[in-house]
Structure 1
């Protein structure tokens, strides 16, 4: 298991710390956990929903995100995970394209489990269809963990690193996890 301390885009904002961990399990299962520390209780949490529904625009509230890229390819997936326990997967052919809003839904990644926990969020994803369709091994993939945190002090953007002048989770230079 690899873990990463995610950093706030606004480096002056140090009130919340966020750690993400990635674990490959078996040939096609990806487990990710997010641990959030909020001693001043600045977080604003969405209401819990039942049944892990797919929903668009989750990033408008607190939302954890996973980006999955493929070495040597332009296409990628964006997975949105809400502490409400709703989720969604989007497909892109290249950087932020197509520009549909909401983005085009991808149905080649399935949810095994999504759970809000006392420390943050845990998710287990089934990448079987995505990996078989594109003939991928774990070594072909690289990932990013990020989050939009809605706080009483405004939205804060967390990622493995920020190399763009604006918070931009789609920037593959910042997708640091390799298998």
Structure 2
């Protein structure tokens, strides 16, 4: 299991810390955990839902995100995970394209399990259809972890690294996990 400290885009904001952990499970399953430390309870949490529905615009509230890139390819996937336990996966042909809002849903990624925990979030994702359709192995993939935190202190953006002048989770240079 690999773990990463997610850095706030506003480096002066140190009230909340987030660690993301990635673990390959089996030939096509991925487990990702997000651990939060919010001692002042600044985070504004969405209300829990049941049955893990697919919903759009989750990033408008507190939300965790996983980006899946493919070495040598422009296309990628974005997975949004809400602490409400709703989720969605999107497909992009290249950097933020197509520009539809909401983006085009990706049905080649399935959810095994998503749950909010006492420490944050945990998700198990089935990548079988995505990997088989594109003839991918784990070594072809790289991942980015990020989070949008709606807080009583404003919105804060967390990622493995921020190399753009603005918070930009779609910047592949910031997707650091390699298999």
Alignment TM-score, normalising by the size of structure 1: 1.00
For 1:30-179, what aligned pairs fall within 5 Å after superposition?
30-179=30-179
Alpha-carbon distance between aligned partners in 2 of 1:7 and 1:82, rounded to the nearest angstrom: 19
Alpha-carbon distance between aligned partners in 1 of 2:50 and 2:151, rounded to the nearest angstrom: 24
Alpha-carbon distance between aligned partners in 2 of 1:30 and 1:103, rounded to the nearest angstrom: 23
RMSD between superposed Cα atoms in Å: 0.3
Alpha-carbon distance between aligned partners in 2 of 1:146 and 1:42, rounded to the nearest angstrom: 18
Which runs of no fewer than 5 residues in structure 1 stay unpaired? Answer: none
Which runs of no fewer than 5 residues in structure 2 stay unpaired? Answer: none
Aligned residues: 179
Alpha-carbon distance between aligned partners in 1 of 2:170 and 2:98, rounded to the nearest angstrom: 13
Q: Give yes or no for the alignment of 1:23 onto 2:23.
A: yes
Alpha-carbon distance between aligned partners in 2 of 1:83 and 1:72, rounded to the nearest angstrom: 33
Q: Which consecutive segments of 4 or more residues in structure 1 shift more than 3 A? A: none
